[in-house]
Structure 1
Amino acid sequence: MLTMQYLLFISGGEIVLVMLLALLFFGSKAIPDIAKTMGKGMREFKKATNEIKRELDNHTSDIKKDIDEVSSTVKKETTDIQKDITDKLKD
């Protein structure tokens, strides 16, 4: 079973040390504001990422539809040409 220490590649003691240093450096009143600001930033980043993905999916679906249309037209034309050739060879 993977624990938090293996996922972060740092031990529990190192996490405590980092938290203690953050508390000493920023103070107890500033840490919640910093965490809230980081949370908002992460939410905005995720929102922007999802919007970019949605835009790419919308534009690529149009391109895919066009490619499928061209592909089906080419297949139909090739089938018609093959049929004409085989009909001429039979005559």
Structure 2
Amino acid sequence: MGILRDIGAPGLIVIVLGALLIFGPKRLPELGESVGKMLAEFKKAVKGIGEQEEK
């Protein structure tokens, strides 16, 4: 998540506003949920790869 630290608050605001304009207010929560699930799966996969390398 180093990328998010580099963006900062103003950058995140611009990204959220852009997503709001592109997807609309009705689809934004759905999009956020999908991104959250994707990140959770990615973390599980990375953790699984790290555990396999330790064996």
User: Which TM-score applies when normalising by structure 2?
Assistant: 0.72
Matched, 1:18 2:15: yes
Query: How many aligned residue pairs are there?
Result: 51
2:51 maps to which residue? Answer: 54
Q: Which runs of 4+ in 1 moved over 4 A?
A: none
Matched, 1:34 2:31: yes
RMSD over aligned Cα atoms = 1.8
Greater Rg over alpha carbons, structure: 1
Aligned-pair identity in percent equals 31
Gaps of 5+ in 1: 1-6, 59-91
Q: Which structure has the higher relative contact order (CA within 8 Å, separation 6+)?
A: 2
Gaps of 5+ in 2: none
For residue 9 of structure 1, report the CA deviation from its aligned partner: 4.2
User: Which TM-score applies when normalising by structure 1?
Assistant: 0.47
